[in-house]
Chain A
Amino acid sequence: MRLVPRLRALALFVWDFVVGDDWRLAVGVAVGLAATALVAAAEVAAWWLLPALAGTFLTISVWRASKARG
């Protein structure tokens, strides 16, 4: 009977634990990994893509958070 609320609480905990304060960073990492896999599959150098996207998404996230405060 109380299974649904417990599962919901567990799902929320896992979401909060993995995704944290800004879901955009998690989306950015997923996009970065997918883009890297696509470029690497085309036999083109792809090592630079993930750090570039991670840096971009981190900058956007930090900027948005500091804007919200300012």
Chain B
Amino acid sequence: MTGPELGLAVSVFLACAVESVEALTIVLAVGTTRSWRSALTGVGAAVAALAALTAVLGPALTSVPLQSLRLVVGGLLLIFGLQWLRKAILRAGGSKALHDELAAYERERNAARGAGAVGSGLDPYAFAIAFKGVLLEGLEVVFIVLTFGANQHRIGLAAAAAGVAVLLVTVVGVAIHAPLQRVPENTLKFVVGVMLTSFGTFWGAEGAGAHWPGGDAALLVLVPATLLFSLCLVTAVRRKSRDADTMASQVTVRP
């Protein structure tokens, strides 16, 4: 496996694992509160829709000329990566609340309890919530699978990495029968943000006509440089949050 292929597999695996954890929380909440059969039917329908989308768009993307594909896909991947990274930096720096899987689980359960009585047939609420949750979380994964896979003509590898992540999260979720609150979601999102930003920058610049010194080997510098830069931003945001808290406490204490 080459370096870019390893990067592809790791990025897709981590992105898919994070999104699967969030989808699992929603499915568990409606499954335990209302109807497992309806929730799992919703999951099945969403997975089928996502698989169909990948099957249709995958071959279409690989037939686009590489230069144009890299420009468009690299640009989109960079926008996506910067958004993931921005959120992860703000969370790591204490400027945005961390995603709490247990709180999200309780919120979903309360909403499910308040959604009326459960009938004997298919429960539309459980079906719709599970379908929507898996579809929305899965769309980001499909986007990452397609963009990474098409750029390297390895959609099969990207889909396999995504499949392993979904399987792993599902097996652990079924085993413990609770939301996976101990998964370090923000750290994973931070890593995915770094990878998407690095690969997006690399492909986007290539698509725009630039030539990287060293070719693919430039990624070996780009990924650690992006990581280092992001960690510096985390330190700066953390310092700023601390200063803001100190000022706020001084204002509160002062009569």
Contact = CB atoms under 8 A, between A and B. Distances in A.
B87 A21 contact: yes
A63 to B, nearest CB: 8
Contact of A26 (B71, B79, B243): B79
B79 A33 contact: no
Given A66-B93, A66-B95, A70-B241, A29 B82 contact: yes
B75 A30 contact: yes
Contacts of A29: 75, 78-79, 82, 204
Q: Is the interface of B mostly helix, strand, loop or mixed?
A: helix
A40 interface: yes
A47 B229 contact: no
B96 A58 contact: no
Interface stretch (B24-32, B40-48, B110-118, B208-216): B208-216
Interface residues of A, number: 37
Interface in A20-68: 20-22, 25-26, 28-30, 32-34, 36-37, 39-41, 45-47, 49-51, 54-55, 57-59, 61-62, 65-67
Interface residues of B, number: 42
16 contacts: A18-B76, A20-B79, A29-B79, A29-B82, A33-B204, A41-B209, A47-B205, A47-B212, A50-B201, A50-B204, A54-B82, A55-B229, A58-B233, A62-B86, A62-B233, A67-B240
Interface of B: 71, 74-76, 78-80, 82-83, 85-87, 89-90, 93, 95-96, 139-140, 197, 201, 204-205, 207-213, 218, 222, 225-226, 229-230, 233, 237, 240-241, 243-244
Interface of A: 17-22, 25-26, 28-30, 32-34, 36-37, 39-41, 45-47, 49-51, 54-55, 57-59, 61-62, 65-67, 69-70
A-B interface, 10 closest residue pairs, ranked by CB to CB distance from nearest? A40-B209, A70-B244, A20-B83, A36-B208, A46-B210, A37-B208, A66-B95, A50-B205, A47-B210, A25-B82
